[in-house]
Amino acid sequence: MLSARFPLLVLVAALLAACSSGPGSSRKAELVYQNEQFKPDETFSRLFDASAPDICEAARRALLSQGYVISAASKGMVTGAKRFQPEGEVHVEISFNVVCVAEGKAGSPSTAFVSAQQDRYVIKRSSAATSIGVSAIGSISVPLSSQQDSMVKVASETIPAGTFYDRFFALMQTMLADTSDASEETRSSSN
């Protein structure tokens, strides 16, 4: 008697699980904007005592020193990315966007606005099968199969960790000091 009811119980449990995870989970995804605080903190920005072009150059050098590939760089913006493979079939890409804005008319101080995005990919295998019919000896079909691997993005988020950005801003400050020292030496030697 229990074995006859077991499939029915499994079906009811599956339906209840589908109902509870369906609209509710998509509703949570729709309401994620409500967690956006828009509070004045310095997680994604830092004020530097330098010009905007100097700050962006320091950001470019900081990213290059850590193995990031720069895709665009100008006096007011830098973008770069780096790829990681933390597990066998998991790949992660971190991309940086840095925007440098002068705060005063003199061009200094300036603010660097930084956001980093982490995209996570997994390898998805799909198999393709074909059959060959040989008509000379009859109706024989031989299945030929192959597998194709492709990278599928499974997650994407802006990195929220303040300590992550603190380390980047500290490296930018070091690079900014190094370029200022180099500029001073160049000016001194030319005089």
The pLDDT value given to residue 179: 75
Hunting for tokens 């005089």 — which residue is that? 191
Out of 12-16, 72-76, 116-120, 130-134, which region has the weakest mean confidence (pLDDT)? 12-16
Out of 15-19, 75-79, 103-107, 181-185, which region has the weakest mean confidence (pLDDT)? 15-19
**Is 24 within the bounds of a domain?**
no
Distance, in Å, from the CA atom of 80 to the CA atom of 59, rounded to the nearest integer, reads 10
Distance, in Å, from the CA atom of 77 to the CA atom of 79, rounded to the nearest integer, reads 7
81 conformational bin, left if phi > 0, alpha if psi -120 to 50, beta if neither: beta
**Is 167 within the bounds of a domain?**
yes
**Is 78 within the bounds of a domain?**
yes
Distance, in Å, from the CA atom of 59 to the CA atom of 65, rounded to the nearest integer, reads 10
Return the number of other C-beta atoms located less than 10 Å from residue 153's C-beta.
11
**Is 46 within the bounds of a domain?**
yes
**Is 104 within the bounds of a domain?**
yes
Helices (H) and strands (E) in the chain, counts: 3, 6
The pLDDT value given to residue 29: 62
Looking at the structure of the chain, the number of domains it has is 1
pLDDT surpasses 80 at 146: no
**Residue 55, domain extent:** 39-123+151-179
Hunting for tokens 């913006």 — which residue is that? 77
E strands, 37-89, are: 45-48, 69-73, 77-87
DSSP-based three-state secondary structure for 55: helix
